[in-house]
Amino acid sequence: MIDRRRFLAGSAGVAAASAGLGLPFGRAAFAQSAAAPQYTPEAGASLRVLRWTPFVPAEETAWLANTKKFTDATGVQVRIDKESWEDVRPKAAVAANVGSGPDMVMSWFDDPQQYADKLVDLTELGTSIGEANGGWYPGLESYAKRDGKFIALPVCAIGNAIVYRDSHMKAAGFSEFPKDTAGFLELCKAMKAKGTPAGFPHGKAVGDGNNYAHWLLWSHGGKMVDESGKVTINSPETLAAVNYAMELYKTFIPGTESWQDVNNNRAFLAGQVSLTANGVSVYYAALKDAGLKEIAEDMRSTNLPIGPVGQSVELAQASTLSVFKHTKFPEAAKAYLAFMYQADNMNAWIEGASAYCCQPLRAFESNPVWTSNPIHAAYAKASASLRPNGYAGPLGAASAGTMADYVLVDMFAEAVTGQSAPEDAIRNAERRANRYYRV
């Protein structure tokens, strides 16, 4: 195994290249690259960053440690505000539209596309960081760009994988986890019969609800829009996805239609469900609790099953960092970003996140965190394999609005709970999506 000290020493070349992205900050000298953009924080600058509440405390600890290093080097005070996953989106939108509040926001998916004209152009910085670090992963990069320009910088993909109790799977008569959706449904039926059911969120969960709904749709060949942005959700493939979801829902614990991002974690750790999909955070929550040792030791992870479409198609929670135009200190904000993406800082953060946050740049995919524990393997390729939520059309205000309005999530929820017939639920989704996509 490669330990952190040896890994960081081995990546010194990348560190030297990316370190040049932050100018001589006044208090400390950093290696410079003549070709890299240079940013000098404004006199008396301070920053306020809005970010999502962490599910892995060590991830936040590493982020705050890097932030303190930046403050120590520059004198720029950085205040970090945390909000729940559900609250980041509306608070960021309000800040953008009223022109006050946080200077920067760590947001979800293509949210920045909803207020692109309110954001600082980060093209120079984004291009340089990418060139210095092996390039951005295309899916993450697409979230951060508009008309070829960076309106944000990709932060990470939060991997989403099946987590399950190995002993409960075997007790249900399966020696290994099914790789296709047909076998997966049979497993869930068998586990329910044994009193160890599955559970997936059909509520308005920013991460888990969207991840599940998009996997259901895409695995059966459905899509919200085509390449031109025309709404195509009303299709035989979507109907097949809805019908499959209805069968799966019958095997779930009651109440999943109201689950948000914390609920499946809690249900799994409480022993109420033995199979769900989540970030690796649920494993570490079990690991740190002595009373949950049995669950942690019995837990396994795997990628979501492959459906009739014949290939792995997953959403993965994506996060970006953007700078609002209303900030009084845009140069300080750029310097902060440049500092956070330096190789030693980025590697320390990825390692601190314990496989919860998948790196945005290819240079960091060899971070030893991915091979330090077998349970991490299912999360290692999240950034490389994710499909943007706007598939197959362009990302923009329409795709962001459709996701923010939970159009797809609600479609499945309406059908599985019997609120609407499958065909009516699909037509409702089509009607709602057309409000955003006006082609």
- Token pair listed for 323: 């700078």
- Taking every pair of Cα atoms in the chain, the longest distance, rounded to a whole number of angstroms, is 67
Could you check whether the bond before residue 392 is cis, i.e. omega within 30 degrees of 0? yes
Contact 30, 84 (CB under 8 A): no
The strand pair at 275-278 and 77-83 is best described as: unpaired
Question: What architecture is domain 4-157+317-385?
Answer: 3-Layer(aba) Sandwich (3.40)
Evaluate whether 4-157+317-385 and 161-315+405-436 have a shared fold: yes
pTM, full prediction: 0.88
- At 37 the pLDDT is 85
How is the chain split into domains, by residue range? 4-157+317-385, 161-315+405-436
**HEC string of the chain?**
CCCHHHHHHHCHHHHHHHHCCCCCCCCCCCCCCCCCCCCCCCCCCEEEEEEECCCCHHHHHHHHHHHHHHHHHHCCEEEEEEECHHHHHHHHHHHHHHCCCCCEEEEECCHHHHHHHHECCCHHHHHHHHHHCCCECHHHHHHHEECCEECCEEEEEECCEEEEEHHHHHHCCCCCCCCEHHHHHHHHHHHHHCCCCECCCCCCCCCHHHHHHHHHHHHCCCCCECCCCCECCCCHHHHHHHHHHHHHHCCECCCHHHCCCCHHHHHHHCCCCCEEEECCHHHHHHHCCHHHHHHHHHEEEECCCECCCCCCCCCCEEEEEEEECCCCCHHHHHHHHHHHCCHHHHHHHHHHCCCCEECCEHHHCCCHHHHCCHHHHHHCCHHHHCCCCCCCCCCCHHHHHHHHCCHHHHHHHHHHCCCCCHHHHHHHHHHHHHHHCCC
- At 242 the pLDDT is 98
Assigned CATH topology for domain 161-315+405-436: D-Maltodextrin-Binding Protein; domain 2 (3.40.190)
- Token pair listed for 215: 């996997």
Tens place of pLDDT for every residue, the chain, 439 residues?
333 333 333 333 333 333 333 333 334 334 434 456 889 999 999 999 999 999 899 999 999 999 999 999 999 999 999 999 889 999 999 999 999 999 999 999 999 999 999 999 999 999 999 999 999 999 999 999 999 999 999 999 999 999 999 999 999 999 999 999 999 999 999 999 999 999 999 999 999 999 999 999 999 999 999 999 999 999 999 999 999 999 999 999 999 999 999 999 999 999 999 999 999 999 999 999 999 999 999 999 999 999 999 999 999 999 999 999 999 999 999 999 999 999 999 999 999 999 999 999 999 999 999 999 999 999 999 999 999 999 999 999 999 999 999 999 999 999 999 999 999 999 999 999 999 998 6
Q: Is the dihedral of CA 223, 219, 405, 158 positive or negative?
A: negative
- Token pair listed for 339: 């500092």
* Residue 138 to residue 120: CA distance in whole angstroms: 21
Contact 209, 409 (CB under 8 A): yes
Please return the burial class of 114, using the count of CB atoms within 10 Å of its CB with bins 0-12, 13-18 and 19+.
buried
* Residue 244 to residue 415: CA distance in whole angstroms: 11
Instruction: Kindly report the number of other CB atoms within 10 A of residue 26's CB atom.
Output: 13
**354-369 burial by CB neighbour count: b if 16+ within 10 A, else e?**
bbbbbbbbebbbebbb
* Residue 226 to residue 235: CA distance in whole angstroms: 12
Single-letter amino acid, residue 81: D
Contact 383, 316 (CB under 8 A): yes
* Residue 422 to residue 238: CA distance in whole angstroms: 9
